[in-house]
Structure 1
Amino acid sequence: MPLRREPTLRQRRLGTEMRKMRELAGLGGSQLARALGLAPTQVTQMETGKIGVSAERLRTVAAACSCSNTPLIDALAEMAVERRKGWWEEYRGTVSSDLLDLAELEETATRLIAYTITFVPGLLQTDAYAASVFARAIPPLPQHEVDVRMEFRMKRQQIIRPNGVPYRAFIHEAALRMQFSGPKVLAEQLEALIRHSETPEASIRAVPFDIESLPGPSENFIYAEGAAPELDSVQIDTTHNSLILDSPAPLASYREILDRMASVALSEEESRDFIRQIKKEIESKHG
């Protein structure tokens, strides 16, 4: 079987979870290989997503590692038999692997929770707002790259639809007031947020400046829930790239952050009124 040149995010995650099983069982790669009747290199290739794993092999690995977490094993078995290519694969070689991984993470999540402090979440951005965000990149992006990123983002936004991935967003007041291309673009973006908030597909809650303390980090992030809690992920925006975390400790930390965020953010109805007020202020000041 030829090795995969570029394993997808899910293929790599399946391998990572198999490695976690092995390590929790206190087994080395060579020990697991002997138990399975494989060469040690095959175990390494499975754990890096370089070769495929059948559902039967996955369950054999789980048994060899004495893993009794049935929901996790079942979810991993489903991942093992996935064969369809996502729409984002059409962009491989055109956009960065970080963006491909983000699109795959969003499409395969059971629920998405976003928190932003510098700009409106990408899945809720209008065309004009997104274009203005891309235009602020340093160094400047070539126009053809802006165009493909715009197209890619608009396709990502299609997950917010009836029967799509449930979406929840906490948006800090700083992001609601940040202007990337003037008051008109921002006012239109705020109006779009209000419309989104009135649909059952999206829950939008504002985090105002005057809360007692900010219960979260200073970076934007997306918490993607998986088919089992162990398969959750956190995607974090950084200055130069995107990080995806899946270790238990950071997942637990971000779950706590979101629980605290939910306790201090405005309600959905209060958030709509809050966004309307900011929009009114901007239009009054710059009208």
Structure 2
Amino acid sequence: MAGGTTLPRRALGRRMRELRAAAQKSQLAAGLAIDVSKQGIGRLEEGRPVRISRVQFRELLGFYDADEDVKAEVLGLLQEIRAARGDDSNFWWRPFADVINPNFNHFISLESAASRITSYRLTLVPGLLQTRAYRRWIVEASDPTLSRSEVDHHVEVVAGRKRKLSEPGFSFEVLLSECVFRHQLGGPEVMLEQLRHLAEVARLPNVSIRAIPFDAGTHPGLVLGSFVLVEFPPLHPGRIPEAPLIFTEGFTGGLFVENDDVVSTYRSSLDELRTFASSAEDTIRLIETIADGYDSTRRMV
């Protein structure tokens, strides 16, 4: 693809690699099934351009015994790739209720493939660290029209994502404004549970949670707003990893940024934000102190 975002193509490659592995098929067997070279299947799975028709994709999905939902998901990604070809930038705004492919969540796909995630948040706890009650309040506040079953589905999706924290080789760095601990989302009881969970998770060896206190002064995060840096492992030993990207979330959608210069600027901002952040140990003490305040408030109610 000469221009435009590579995100849908990379997502398609990861998904097809997962499907082939689940079907226990080799790249050679997959290629023979649709009259494509083994190298062509490899390029597909690496998110690189390859000439495979829509008909061949359907045949390959049949070879992998994919169900109808998975077929719709993959064909939706193909449509996204075609739609992205006209975009000459490396920025891509994707509404959450995307009409192109509503069955595919790109951020969750990126999160599941990541080897390292660095998250800076101004107001909310990152999804990987949210309790069910905290997430439920966010979902209900964001869209009061959702049914109870729809809310439950959103909550369970986030709960399932937490398995990522125990994945070998994965690390998670979190920089949180002190606002995150003091905004009383859902009330004292919800916040008490959430903060106790944060204090527990902060002690995991692959998780770093550091607060940027109110008295830290002016820092770049106040201008940048919340964002996530997502980094990936090499697909094969000795190969270059997938390019990292930045994700920023708005009320109606998410902005994925792949431009190298912009990603580098965000990296530099993270380096500066770290100089304003408290130590991991001081952050745990801050969390526990604020949690004690919520506990006292809860007891008084």
Instruction: Compute the TM-score of the two structures, normalised by the length of structure 1.
Output: 0.67
Aligned to 1:274: 286
Any residues of structure 2 matched to 1:20-35 within 5 Å, and which? none
Aligned to 1:136: 141
- C-alpha distance in 1 between matches for 2:208 and 2:72: 29
- C-alpha distance in 2 between matches for 1:210 and 1:245: 31
Task: Give the aligned length.
Answer: 225
| Partner AA of 1:130 in structure 2 | R
Aligned residue for 1:112, secondary structure, equals strand
Aligned residue for 2:274, secondary structure, equals helix
- Identity among equivalent positions (%) equals 28
| Partner AA of 2:255 in structure 1 | L
Aligned to 2:271: 259
Q: Is the 8 A contact 1:236 1:243 kept in 2?
A: yes
Any residues of structure 2 matched to 1:76-225 within 5 Å, and which? 78-79=46-47, 97=102, 100-216=105-221, 217-225=223-231
Any residues of structure 2 matched to 1:52-71 within 5 Å, and which? 55=39
How far has the Cα of 1:98 moved from its partner? 9.1
Structure showing greater relative contact order (alpha-carbon pairs closer than 8 Å, 6 or more residues apart): 2
- C-alpha distance in 1 between matches for 2:184 and 2:123: 10
How far has the Cα of 1:117 moved from its partner? 1.0
- C-alpha distance in 2 between matches for 1:141 and 1:250: 36
- C-alpha distance in 2 between matches for 1:225 and 1:128: 29
Q: Cα deviation per residue 1:159-185 (whole Å; 9 max; x = unaligned)? A: 001515211111111111112211011
How far has the Cα of 1:141 moved from its partner? 2.4
Aligned to 1:226: 232
How far has the Cα of 1:130 moved from its partner? 0.7
Q: Is the 8 A contact 1:116 1:220 kept in 2?
A: yes
Q: Cα deviation per residue 1:73-128 (whole Å; 9 max; x = unaligned)? A: xxx984559x999xx96995998659710111111122101111111111000111
How far has the Cα of 1:219 moved from its partner? 2.9
| Partner AA of 2:296 in structure 1 | S
Deviates more, 1:91-100 or 1:257-266: 91-100
Q: Is the 8 A contact 1:117 1:219 kept in 2?
A: yes
How far has the Cα of 1:213 moved from its partner? 1.3
- C-alpha distance in 2 between matches for 1:90 and 1:161: 30
Tell whether 2:249 aligns with 1:237. yes
How far has the Cα of 1:53 moved from its partner? 9.6
- C-alpha distance in 2 between matches for 1:213 and 1:229: 35
How far has the Cα of 1:13 moved from its partner? 8.7
Instruction: Compute the TM-score of the two structures, normalised by the length of structure 2.
Output: 0.65
- Structure 1 stretches lacking a partner, 5+ long: 1-6, 15-51, 60-75
Aligned-residue CA RMSD (Å): 3.5
- Structure 2 stretches lacking a partner, 5+ long: 1-6, 15-35, 51-60, 77-95, 234-239
**C-alpha spacing 1:208/1:175, structure 2 compared with 1 (3 Å):** same
